[in-house]
Amino acid sequence: MATLAVFTAVVSPSASAPAQAAAGSGFLDHLNGFDTRRWHKANGWSNGGVFNAGWRADHIRHSGGVMAINLDTATCPSGCSAKPYASGEYRTNAHYSYGRFEVRMKAVKRPGTVTSFFTYTGPSDGQPWDEIDVEILGRNTTQMQTNYYTDGVGGHESVIDLGFDASTGFHNYAIEWRESTIKWFVDGRLVHQEDGSRGPLPSHPQRIMVNLWPGIGVDEWLGPFTYPGRALTARYEWIRYTQY
């Protein structure tokens, strides 16, 4: 088991989409195309810290009912926020409160990488840092890591054995967030839950987000990243939110 880390903060410039109230209602997006009413693509910056890639809007593409996020070296480092790699991050414009957050995705298998589905808000939205994570670490894609942050306090990681390789096919991952509990599901099966006994649960409305990134300085957690000389691709078939 990898040593777990607490580095998943999302930093964005003031040029990103403006923060909105918790106005997000239920939806199912089959990701057939880029719906600018619901989503925006991170572009022209890096989250910094352990994220060793710059976000590029052109690294998120829709084709054949699948959204692909590519991680490669195109135009880097000059066009990649001075990072050696480029990748993509997809974010909702609105913020969403208690409900069920679901995705169908296929992860990247490569040490040093993270394929994610998560909810997030923070100082760039004028709110405390709250976050709920589903992360597939490319060093072992038969496991899923869960975590949450409340007002910037994390350290609630758990590692779940999936019983399959998340890089070889699409699977459904869900977060059920209520005031008193967070539950994580895989293919409809409850695999983990938190009730606040390890620390207060998030309470602020959050964006729904996905990204793919290589780490730096966290080899103990992610393993060392080496670029294979070709693009690495995380794939997403749909994203759904059900309001509670």
Q: Report which residue type is found at 232.
A: L
List the structure tokens of 124.
């760039």
Does the annotation mark 135 as catalytic?
yes
Q: Is the dihedral of CA 177, 181, 182, 184 positive or negative?
A: negative
How many C-alpha atoms does 169 have within 13 Å on its Cβ side? 7
- Judged by phi (left if over 0) then psi (alpha if -120 to 50, else beta), residue 223 lies in left
In the structure, how many helices (H) and strands (E) does the chain have? 1, 17
Cis peptide before 77 (omega within 30 of 0): yes
Dist CA 111 CA 27 (whole Å): 34
List the structure tokens of 188.
């409809």
Does the annotation mark 194 as catalytic?
no
φ and ψ at residue 83, rounded to 5 degrees: -90, 160
Cis peptide before 228 (omega within 30 of 0): no
Q: Report which residue type is found at 112.
A: G
Cα–Cα separations (whole angstroms), residue 215 to 138, 147, 196:
11, 17, 29
Active-site residue, from 131, 157, 176, 194: 131
Active-site residue, from 89, 102, 135, 194: 135
Could you give the residue numbers annotated as active site?
131, 135
